[in-house]
Amino acid sequence: MNVKVNEVLDAKGLACPMPIVKTKKVMKGLSPGFVLEVQATDRGSTADMKAWSESTGHQYLGTLEDGDVLKHYIRKSSDEESKNEKKHPLVVTNDELQQKLSEQIVVLDVRENAEYVFNHIPQAISLPLGELESRLHELNKMDEIYVICRTGSRSDLAAQKLAEHGFTNVKNVVPGMSQWSGETNK
């Protein structure tokens, strides 16, 4: 399948949040209606691109696989279609989460399974961002949920998604596992 694009962004070899950071920058320079192809090798980038597009009002068209490369297609929205990029309002630091670990809370790790397997907070539940909507039923809307990822980007999108689905006590943990100094399981 040949997709007509207006610009190509090479994000191969980059890990979250860099494909999104670079996509944001390129999208600012595109005209409304133009299509951007983002080439990435990070498996988690599919869920990231879809969630980011949704949060900004740009149209996520889909992803095609070309060997090890994922080609994401995003159509830039017009000013009327786009939203100001939202951020989840409840944010806590790694230290604040560390202090809450002895309490009755849920730590939800939304990184990809491979990231989780090699380094995670002991009681954290693995639920990758790309699977979140289909697995919401596994979570209790009344629980106090702390959402964590590597840097706070995917966890922000996940926290917004949970709030949209009626979860009222959700906090995004920043800066996330990239700077976590507490106990971990490997």
Kindly report the number of other CB atoms within 10 A of residue 182's CB atom: 12
Is residue 149 among the annotated active site residues? no
- Enter the DSSP assignment of 142: T
Amino acid identity, residue 54? E
Which of the residues 9, 11, 16, 145 is marked catalytic?
16
Q: d(Cα 36, Cα 39) in Å, to the nearest integer?
A: 10
Task: Please state, in angstroms and as integers, the Cα–Cα distance from residue 148 to each residue in 8, 12, 56, 121, following that order.
Answer: 30, 24, 21, 10
**Alpha helix (H) residue ranges in the chain:** 18-29, 45-56, 94-100, 113-118, 153-164
Active site (catalytic) residues:
16
